[in-house]
Structure 1
Amino acid sequence: MPYKVLVVDDSSFFRRRLTDILNADPNLNVIDVAVNGIEAVEKAKILKPDVITMDIEMPHLNGIDAVKQIMKHSPTSIIMFSSLTHEGAKITLDALDAGALDFLPKKFSEIAKTTSDAGRVLRQRVTQLARKNSTIKVRANLRDVVANKPPVKKVLSVVTQKSQAVIQKSPQNYKILTIGTSTGGPIALQKVLTQLPDNFPVPILIVQHMPASFTKAFANRLNNLCKISVKEAATGDQLKAGHAYVAPGGKQMVIDGNNSTAKLKIIDDVSERVAFKPSVDITFASAARVFGKDVLSLILTGMGSDGKDGCRLLKGKGATVWSQDEESCVVYGMPQAVAKAGLSDEELPLDKISSSILKVFDLK
């Protein structure tokens, strides 16, 4: 059965265009459209779509407030359409905070070079979120069954056993923490990083797949929320304990020097060879070269397999790799690629990652 999609936008042209693109995939079916946030909230309750595409600027009720109401009354996977501007970045991050899972540029030319490629990316992203929504509904049904208290102890053990990993203080002297993520990453990173103390003993490198106009706003938001210092990385930044550096969108972030004089170098990358800019693989490879075994690396929620090759290089040096578990991921792509390749030392639920980091570094 095709996944059900609700398209929300006040532009009739965009609604028609988006509907045609999504319906080109037999696994997707646009079941209805809404012209403002109020309609979106009501139709989400009645139609129970698998995924909603949501515009931000709309009359009567804007996209952010609509997301808040939908997530309160009828939780659904939502992908936002945003302008790639600094102001658009801040608004989109607000939408992700409200409960949206992903975002795409409203100008299709900013998604991909050709219209056909943009359509393919859009359909792929919507399908991934629709799958996640179906999983959410299955889990909700399971919780309802548990609430009715039939003999379900075996079911409960299956659901929870992945969360039983025990992390202890590491005898390894980690000198850096590296994190790679994509779809679902902004909120996942926020949950992890806000739990770290200001005296965190090593620097943190963050590679989040994100447009160039978004990364500075994202870094500033994290800096305002976290006890550690967070900034968009720049060439010449010295790696300092208790500081996190977000790779700029559209560029590559690498470590220069050696492990005692490490600095960051930001590279303009016009190569067609590397799909992601920034790329987790490239940053992780430089961490492997400079810090060897003394790296703790995390692969969080995200589409695709970026990070797998970088983790392979890190493991070859004796470094430690953790990946987020399937149940807590928005998209179990990047962590799955690492886990399936046998590169993950631990698969952890999102709500256990920050406490596990604190234990490894013997922090309270």
Structure 2
Amino acid sequence: MPYKVLVVDDSSFFRRRVTDILNADPNLSVIDVAINGIEAVEKAKSLKPDVITMDIEMPQLNGIDAVKQIMKYAPTSIIMFSSLTHAGAQKTLEALDAGALDFLPKKFTEIASDASDAGRLLRQRVIQLARKNPRLRSSITERHTPIVASKPIKRDVQSSFQSPRTSIRKSNTDYKILTIGTSTGGPVALQKVLTQLPKDFPLPILIVQHMPASFTKAFANRLNNLCEISVQEAANGDEIKPGCAYVAPGGKQMILSSANKLKIVEDNSERISFKPSVDVTFGSAAKFFNNSALAIILTGMGSDGREGCRLLKAKGATIWAQDEDSSVVYGMPQAIVNAGLSHQTLSIDEVAPSILKELKLN
């Protein structure tokens, strides 16, 4: 049976276009369309699609509010269509926080080499999300960290975490850096991890999240408002400091030029698909850190990060991967596990407590 898709957009042209692209795959079937958020909510309840493609700007009820209602009454995997603007980035991040699992630019040909590649990309993303059916799980919204307007009041770190069900033995490693790589599902996963780290977190954190160039600054600013640690989009020449997280800029590569300084480089290479790339950042970290690096691969499509983790592990670094059940897409973590590179496999709820335990902070 093909996966059932509901297409939601107020543009009849875009509805037809998305419908034709998705129906070209025998594993997908567009069962209906909706022209606004109100219709989307009602059809999500009655038709129970496996995936919903959702526009953000619509009359009567916008995409963000529609996502909130769908996740409350009929949890469904949702992929948003967004404009590649600062305002589009802000609204897309709100939609992800509301429960959407992924997003694509509304002009998704902008992130593909041609129209046929763009169609394949859309179909691939929809199929991946169809396999992650929230109706088989508790509502995704229950797993989100609440949005707040400013940084939270400092918590008692010792008492605010539950011990992970996986036994993580505290090591004697003197860690110097934490690196995190992720893609699909990463914004929510990163928010869940980083909001649990204390202000005096002793390591610098390098973050590679697959995102368009117009999104990463807004994403870093959003995390900075939610976290006790400082979060910023990385800039060329930044000196990395403990308690600070650096988000790789979209469309470029973030590398370490020394043990404590970042270099942001343009990358026009066709050999490297992702810009930023987890492999590139992790590979540069392997040049300066050996067993003093802790590297974590979270949810994401594909295998970016595997070769970077291979280089890090060869130097003695500790590698963790998110587990399948808590991953939106078990691609990047699975690549790490299948390659025998991961020392631990953790649910997203276990990651932050395990980091603190590994660093002897609780």
Q: Give the TM-score normalised by structure 1.
A: 0.91
For residue 346 of structure 1, what is the aligned residue in structure 2?
A: 344
Q: Write the distance in 2 (CA, Å) between the matches of 1:111 and 1:105.
A: 8
> 1:169, CA displacement in angstroms?
2.4
For residue 196 of structure 2, what is the aligned residue in structure 1?
A: 195
Q: Is the 8 A contact 1:111 1:121 kept in 2?
A: no
RMSD: 0.9
For residue 80 of structure 1, what is the aligned residue in structure 2?
A: 80
Q: Write the distance in 2 (CA, Å) between the matches of 1:362 and 1:292.
A: 19
For residue 38 of structure 1, what is the aligned residue in structure 2?
A: 38
What is the one-letter code of the residue matched to 1:276?
F
More helix by share: 1
What is the one-letter code of the residue matched to 1:105?
P
> 1:293, CA displacement in angstroms?
1.7
> 1:177, CA displacement in angstroms?
0.1
> 1:138, CA displacement in angstroms?
4.0
Q: Is the 8 A contact 2:294 2:319 kept in 1?
A: yes
Q: How does 1:1-364 map to 2 (within 5 A)?
A: 1-133=1-133, 136-139=134-137, 164-257=165-258, 259=259, 262-364=260-362
For residue 150 of structure 1, what is the aligned residue in structure 2?
A: none
Q: Which runs of 5+ in 1 are unaligned?
A: 141-162
Q: Write the distance in 1 (CA, Å) between the matches of 2:351 and 2:231.
A: 19
For residue 148 of structure 1, what is the aligned residue in structure 2?
A: none
> 1:137, CA displacement in angstroms?
3.6
Q: Write the distance in 1 (CA, Å) between the matches of 2:288 and 2:339.
A: 23
Q: Write the distance in 2 (CA, Å) between the matches of 1:346 and 1:361.
A: 15
Q: Write the distance in 1 (CA, Å) between the matches of 2:43 and 2:218.
A: 32
Q: State the secondary structure of the residue aligned to 1:252.
A: strand
What is the one-letter code of the residue matched to 1:351?
D
> 1:362, CA displacement in angstroms?
1.2
Q: Is the 8 A contact 2:216 2:249 kept in 1?
A: yes
Q: Write the distance in 2 (CA, Å) between the matches of 1:174 and 1:25.
A: 47
Q: Write the distance in 2 (CA, Å) between the matches of 1:210 and 1:222.
A: 14
- TM-superposition CA deviations, 1:164-220 (whole Å, max 9, x none): 311132200110000000000000000000000010001000000000000000000
Q: Write the distance in 1 (CA, Å) between the matches of 2:137 and 2:248.
A: 35
Q: State the secondary structure of the residue aligned to 2:131.
A: helix
Q: State the secondary structure of the residue aligned to 2:132.
A: helix
- TM-superposition CA deviations, 1:288-315 (whole Å, max 9, x none): 1111221000000000000000000011
> 1:331, CA displacement in angstroms?
0.1
> 1:139, CA displacement in angstroms?
4.6
Q: Write the distance in 1 (CA, Å) between the matches of 2:225 and 2:80.
A: 23
Q: Is the 8 A contact 2:41 2:66 kept in 1?
A: yes
- Following TM superposition, where does structure 1 have runs of at least 4 consecutive aligned residues deviating by more than 3 angstroms? 136-140
> 1:53, CA displacement in angstroms?
0.1
Identity of aligned residues (%): 75
For residue 149 of structure 1, what is the aligned residue in structure 2?
A: none
Q: Give the TM-score normalised by structure 2.
A: 0.92
Q: State the secondary structure of the residue aligned to 1:288.
A: helix
CA 139–222 in structure 1, closer or farther in 2 if over 3 Å, else same:
closer
